[in-house]
């Protein structure tokens, strides 16, 4: 039997003032692992900022400043959370939505263009980083033989 008693009972969490919660299904049903770092950061922030209906009024510039996100990363994360059915947005207000039945994962996109390769192909990204740093991209392969 696992001992589930609090280690510091005088410090047990209680809802006081604000209203934020994360369903245990978020972890157990794979929602956590389905989000990128920026999506997770924005989602948790909006959960913390929301009222009991999931509504938040934070502006994008304040969110970016508080989370240390550039606008592009914020837009990508926001749009992904909308696409994954975790967030509603009307241009001014956010609503953190109840969890869908299962995580919504975007379909696998094939890499077709040079831009796709530069964005999502590990070998191309590795080569480009090595080029930018003046390193030999084949050094790792030579030493691992």
Domain segments of the chain as ranges: 17-96, 114-143
Distance of CA 62 to the CA centre of its chain: 18
Does residue 95 contact residue 54 with C-beta atoms inside 8 Å?
yes
Q: What is the DSSP letter of 85?
A: T
* CATH code of the domain made up of 17-96: 1.10.10.10
Residue 137 confidence (pLDDT) above 70: yes
Spell out where 8-72 has E strands: 55-56
Helix (H, G, I), strand (E, B) or coil at 96: strand
Please write the tens of the pLDDT for every residue from 25-56: 999 999 999 999 999 999 999 999 998 899 99
Please write the tens of the pLDDT for every residue from 17-31: 777 888 899 999 999
């Amino acid at each position: 039997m696992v001992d589930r008693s609090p280690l510091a009972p005088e410090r047990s969490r209680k809802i006081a003032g604000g209203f934020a919660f994360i369903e245990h299904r978020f972890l157990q049903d794979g929602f956590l692992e389905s989000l990128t770092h920026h999506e997770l950061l924005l989602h948790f922030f909006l959960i913390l900022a929301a009222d009991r209906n999931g509504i938040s009024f934070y502006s994008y510039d304040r969110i970016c400043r508080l989370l240390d996100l550039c606008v592009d990363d914020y837009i990508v994360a926001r749009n992904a959370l909308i696409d994954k059915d975790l967030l509603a947005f009307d241009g001014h207000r956010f609503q953190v939505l109840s969890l869908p039945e299962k995580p919504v994962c975007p379909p696998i996109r094939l890499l077709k263009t040079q831009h796709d390769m530069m964005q999502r192909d590990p070998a191309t990204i590795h080569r480009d980083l090595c080029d930018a740093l003046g390193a030999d991209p084949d050094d790792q392969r030579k030493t691992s033989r």
